[in-house]
Amino acid sequence: GAGVSQSPRYKVAKRGQDVALRCDPISGHVSLFWYQQALGQGPEFLTYFQNEAQLDKSGLPSDRFFAERPEGSVSTLKIQRTQQEDSAVYLCASSNGTNYNEQFFGPGTRLTVL
Amino acid sequence: GDSVTQMEGPVTLSEEAFLTINCTYTATGYPSLFWYVQYPGEGLQLLLKATKADDKGSNKGFEATYRKETTSFHLEKGSVQVSDSAVYFCALVRHKFYFGSGTKLNVKP
């Protein structure tokens, strides 16, 4: 596709539910990143993939957060037993090359946990 | 640890006014520095970048100079337009991206 796409764009979950957020990176981009952006804040790094390998997951806030990219293209961020503090916009970005290069961001998924 | 601090907003200017959004950083070594822009309802877009000291990034009339001596990367534009209204994020890369908290710019006609 022309850019990074994410789905759903909006998700409302009840506290305790599991959610899955999808990211389709730009075709051919080897690097994929997930960020969490709280209201009024800048994006905060969650995790990084190079192809299917998850090279850095130091930003995942708890073991309820899990990300995968099994075939090196589409990625899914899963949050188990959602809590109210998980409410945020989740951004996906992809890059052609090392993680130092320009990252192209998707529109984000706004998650609201009630 | 590595971090970015940028001026709080919102910043409200009249069309054709001069814009400065301050950004300072803390990092060991020599990070690359970026400005990203987020227009209402859209994703983050790279505005400009600089990869080494004294480099000047520029795009769409915006400029920023990588100043190692003051650890700064201030964003400037000589004459803003209503269409520049957006949230601007300063960021650095050293092993991973670190973003500032964003500065909202409102430009009035």
Q: Under a CB-based contact definition with an 8 Å cutoff, are residues A45 and B96 in contact?
A: yes
Chain-chain contact of A42 with B96 (C-beta, under 8 angstroms): no
Chain A residues whose CB is inside 8 A of the B96 CB are 45, 48, 56, 59, 99
pLDDT tens-digit map of A18-69: 999 999 999 999 999 999 999 888 999 999 999 999 999 999 999 999 999 9
Chain-chain contact of A43 with B89 (C-beta, under 8 angstroms): yes
Cα A108 to chain centroid, rounded = 8
Question: What pLDDT does A101 receive?
Answer: 62
Chain B residues whose CB is inside 8 A of the A91 CB are 43-44
Collapsed DSSP state (helix, strand, coil) of residue B12: strand
pLDDT tens-digit map of B47-81: 999 999 999 999 999 999 999 999 999 999 999 99
Q: Is the peptide bond before A43 cis (omega within 30 degrees of 0)?
A: no
Chain-chain contact of A91 with B43 (C-beta, under 8 angstroms): yes
Contacts 24+ apart (CB under 8 A), A66-69: A67/A34, A69/A32
